[in-house]
Structure 1
Amino acid sequence: MTLAPSVKGTVPFGEYETWYRVTGDLGSGKPALVFVHGGPGSTHDYLLNATELSELGNPVVHYDQLGNGGSTHLPDKGADFWTVDLFAQELDNLLRQLGIQDNYVLYGQSWGGLLVADHAAKQPQGLKGLVIANAPASYPLWLQEMKVLRDQLPPGNNEILLKHEAEGTTTSDAYFEAMQPFYEKHVCRLKPWPRDFMASFYEMYNDPTVYYSMNGPSEFHVVGTLKDWGVIEGLAAIEVPTLLISGRHDEATPVTVQPYADLIPDVSWEIFEESSHMPHLEEPELFIQVMSTYLKSLG
């Protein structure tokens, strides 16, 4: 398959810069499909295979959120700087700078799912559709379910994790090694991990400023500024057709996703049976099929 050419660049965001990549023609007349990555503090790389969707005529936009990847790094900024509002403003700014604010679809993965739900609840006129992938509706729900999943780890594994968390040694090799069974079961079940996923993983490892500030030391130990945040209150205000995506083995368990299904008026939910937190990588053909059907349904 020959993909449309990609254009890469940066747009100004105040005194900083946001890196972006566009695959396809922004002037095609079809809604631009904007991918909002997870983390917070990850990069676009692990979502790159979605460029295939540009074959439908929808231009595909990836970007790196402030603080990582090709965007401005700010390792000296404290937790008070890294707010949900900052990243909401960055998304709004990107849409305006690219001239797509009147005709776009948002795809938010993991933390990005909460961010796009928050955006959609404000009922922007140019938003035509919404995909919330592998995302909890709140971090309190997420933490509740993390305990359930951690208790199912191999005997002794969670005890090692708890010991390091209590002692503040979560940057140690021992903690990193003890994290792996969880990640291999609930984050990405492919072995070896795909190159695009590893690229994002190492970007976040090399500059964990945002992730550590907002999330914490691991997927299942959220002690950062997001630990009490969620988007449940705004979900009933979302007006656009919404697709929910999750994996059967996802760290974003059905309990964490259920509020989206219950409260968004026009919603459907696709569970990928062989996937965890990365269905677009774990079941790529089915992912393209599901997304193609959804995008065509928007007209």
Structure 2
Amino acid sequence: MTEPQVRRVRLEEGFEVQAYIYGEGDETLFLANGGPGLPSLYLREPHARLARDGWRVVAWDQLGCGASDRPQDPALWALERYVAEAEQVRAALDLGPVHLLGHSWGTWLFTEYCLTHPEQVKSCILADGACDIPHLVGELDRLRSALGAETLAMMRRHEAEGSIDHPEYQAAITILNYRHVCRLQAWPDSLTAALADWNMGPYGEMQGPNEFTYTGNMKDWNRIPAMGAIAAPCLVLCGAHDELTPACSEKMHAALPNSWLKIFEASSHMPFHEEPEAYFPAVRAFLEEVAARAAVGGLTRKSHPCR
């Protein structure tokens, strides 16, 4: 990975976040990592290769994670504040209108960003996400059920008792993670390093105690009804075995008026790590087509090369 240019950005709340810039291209791909509270390393490290194709690739450690400040105020962990943070970073770095790529929680952030700042969005890639959390909870229950009735009952008992740190509960979560988060036998160093530095404060406040339990302030969030207002071309990506399942991506794709859907058959939640030989050509094809057609009326479903 090429070493990035590192910039500190001071937010209106008085805290600082750290941004990373790869390449010097005229077109910017702006990354929003998953979590919340997960450092950007796992996402920016694989996507930095796009700088070799002439793109300027920009990521940042969201407030509360990585090299950014880590305040303790739970009131900061709200979607609307993160949207404002993303806009402050874009403006402070003078990026102009950008192409967005949000992964996991980053798809929630950038969906809301598209609705709030549409004039700053050239295109949007929503990778391994879900914009209807109640529907996602039903999908996660289905994935958990595949462990068997006895295991599912055990998990629900520990959740009700508040004893999710019990080894048998954690063993079930480990199985689910290797099935639906990353299916590689050995997880990449950038992913394990980011996971080891995960700040669970924002995560617990917004999502819950783990990837398969939603109890935080986002648990009732559903932006599917509003996504028809997103006019920018969008690419929806998903692993066939994803914890945020293909059914979630299909709902997003159906709601977006100008979108395409690509499912990676050998991947779960990290196709850029699990299946890079399929993932990056799909991303490149979309971005190149958007850029090529911007001067001739924009990209439509009919014109997209992956239709």
TM range, normalised to the smaller chain? over 0.9
1:11 alignment partner, one of 1, 9, 16: 9
Q: How far off is 1:4 after superposition?
A: 5.7
Larger CA deviation: 167-176 vs 61-70: 167-176
In structure 2, relative to structure 1, the CA distance for the partners of 1:145 and 1:285 (3 Å cut) is same
Which residue of 1 is the match for residue 77 of structure 2?
82
Which residue of 2 is the match for residue 105 of structure 1?
99
Identity of aligned residues (%): 30
Which residue of 1 is the match for residue 87 of structure 2?
92
How many Å separate the matches in 2 of 1:4 and 1:69?
Answer: 19
Secondary structure at the counterpart of residue 298 of structure 1: helix
Which residue of 1 is the match for residue 195 of structure 2?
201
Which residue of 2 is the match for residue 255 of structure 1?
247
Which residue of 2 is the match for residue 216 of structure 1?
208
Q: How far off is 1:155 after superposition?
A: 5.8
2:230 counterpart of 1:238: yes
2:269 counterpart of 1:277: yes
Q: How far off is 1:123 after superposition?
A: 5.0
Q: How far off is 1:154 after superposition?
A: 4.8
Q: How far off is 1:171 after superposition?
A: 3.4
Bigger relative contact order, structure 1 or 2 (CA pairs below 8 A, ≥6 apart) = 1
Check whether the contact 1:123–1:237 (CA below 8 A) recurs between aligned residues: no
Check whether the contact 1:161–1:175 (CA below 8 A) recurs between aligned residues: yes
Check whether the contact 2:249–2:261 (CA below 8 A) recurs between aligned residues: no
In structure 2, relative to structure 1, the CA distance for the partners of 1:166 and 1:232 (3 Å cut) is same
Secondary structure at the counterpart of residue 179 of structure 2: helix
Which residue of 1 is the match for residue 38 of structure 2?
42
Normalised by the size of structure 1, how large is the TM-score? 0.92
Check whether the contact 2:131–2:221 (CA below 8 A) recurs between aligned residues: no
Which residue of 1 is the match for residue 19 of structure 2?
20
Q: What residue ranges of structure 1 are gaps of 5+ in the alignment? A: none
Larger CA deviation: 265-274 vs 230-239: 230-239
How many Å separate the matches in 1 of 2:116 and 2:93?
Answer: 20
Deviations 1:2-24 (CA, angstroms, capped at 9, x unpaired):
x6652012110121011111000
Q: What residue ranges of structure 2 are gaps of 5+ in the alignment? A: 292-307
How many Å separate the matches in 2 of 1:248 and 1:228?
Answer: 25
Q: After the TM superposition, list the runs of 4 or more consecutive aligned residues in structure 1 that deviate by more than 4 angstroms.
A: none
Give the root-mean-square deviation of aligned CA atoms: 1.5
Q: How far off is 1:103 after superposition?
A: 2.6
Q: How far off is 1:50 after superposition?
A: 0.7
Counting helix residues as a fraction of each chain, which structure ranks higher? Answer: 2
Which residue of 1 is the match for residue 302 of structure 2?
none
How many Å separate the matches in 1 of 2:2 and 2:290?
Answer: 21
Secondary structure at the counterpart of residue 8 of structure 1: strand
Deviations 1:14-59 (CA, angstroms, capped at 9, x unpaired):
210111110001xx32x21011011111111111111001112110
Which residue of 1 is the match for residue 162 of structure 2?
168
Which residue of 1 is the match for residue 304 of structure 2?
none
Q: How far off is 1:159 after superposition?
A: 2.7
Which residue of 2 is the match for residue 137 of structure 1?
131
How many Å separate the matches in 2 of 1:298 and 1:54?
Answer: 17
Q: How far off is 1:166 after superposition?
A: 1.0
How many Å separate the matches in 2 of 1:24 and 1:127?
Answer: 20
2:51 counterpart of 1:54: yes
Question: What code does the residue aligned with 2:271 have?
Answer: P
Q: How far off is 1:148 after superposition?
A: 0.7
Q: How far off is 1:184 after superposition?
A: 0.5
In structure 2, relative to structure 1, the CA distance for the partners of 1:211 and 1:277 (3 Å cut) is same
Check whether the contact 2:100–2:110 (CA below 8 A) recurs between aligned residues: yes
* Total equivalences in the alignment: 289
How many Å separate the matches in 2 of 1:11 and 1:40?
Answer: 19
